Structure 1
Amino acid sequence: MQEAIGEIAALLHANQALLDDAAARTDAGKPPTPTDSGLLKFMVTGNAIRAVELALQLSGNHGLSRNNPLERHYRDVLCSRIHTPQNDSVLVAAGRVALGQ
């Protein structure tokens, strides 16, 4: 259990660092490029989904009960995948930039 909680903490810590950096750069007048913004969304939402999945694994079936806040958190983070830009668009754009196209 401690290892899973540690992984959740690491995922959330990474998200906080990524978001704080993007906010600081934006405040300094150097906002992320559209490609970097997409990659930020891809990473942060993926980390959030993984963190909630780990919490659900720890709680078992009870975590999927409508009475458990984890159930709502899980539905909320899964919705992040369908909001624009979707992962396939983000990764294609990043691949094009990486290949110099």
Structure 2
Amino acid sequence: MPAPELETLVADLVGRHLSVPSIKASIVGSASTEETADITQRITALIAGESHAEDQPGISALLRLIEKVQIAPGKIQISIATKAIAECLTVEPARISEDHLSFV
């Protein structure tokens, strides 16, 4: 698969993963109801492409979250970087649930 198509696929998979309501609700540990609503809004904006780094215009905000992608026949495993998602959600990295950062 050519690189641009792979990047599009990976960004789409990250967006789908982060769109899952249970992920939005629990990606940050010990979040209050108000904080969970804010996190949900930030994730929605991130997926919609409203969050772009000024120093890297044109780079998908979702792709900047990726720590590692492992590709095997019929399988893609994606790991999201704790620090990157914490910065997007404006929370301390220690509050990010590691359980939700790696998916197939």
Fold match (TM-score > 0.5): no
Pick the structure with greater CA Rg: 1
When normalised by structure 1's length, the TM-score is 0.35
When normalised by structure 2's length, the TM-score is 0.34
Greater share of residues in helix: 1
